Amino acid sequence: GRLDQHSEGLILLTNDGDLAQRLAHPRYKVQKTYFVVVAGALAQEELAKLRRGVYLAEGIARIDGARFRKVRKSFTELEIVLSEGKNREIRRILARAGHKVVLLRRIAIGPLRLAELPVGAARELTQQEVKSLYACTQPAAASKSSPSKNAGAANLDFAAAGY
């Protein structure tokens, strides 16, 4: 998945087309987790409204989950989870609630977390991480498809922290 020019965080680079398709296509419902800072204090009621959904140009958009990390008068820090990320969706959803996004960082894709990887750095994924990414992309009905022959080839899959 892509990040817009004003966002930062976890990006996966791979030449495994099957894995890339599974991680990007909404049918697989791979959850992406974001650390978000918005201007102003976001109320619990506003967050509940975002979970129920707001109208955007292409229809109703809703977040899959969210939790407050810190609320102050001048800003709110939260984690937001989406399983389908449309163009600038978090920014547009929060704008509908009257809050400008100050910082948007993707911190997880499925089970893979950004952790302490510095901005601009990259590292190879372990075979276990690749397997866990495949595992989280299994459709709701048990799929008979198996990871491609490249799955787990650590030299093909990279995690990078970008901005």
Catalytic residue annotation: 4
Rounded to whole angstroms, the Cα distance separating 80 from 64 reads 8
What distance lies between CA 122 and its chain's CA centroid? 18
Q: What is the largest CA-CA distance in the chain?
A: 52
Nearest Cα to Cα of residue 83 among 100, 108, 102, 105: 108
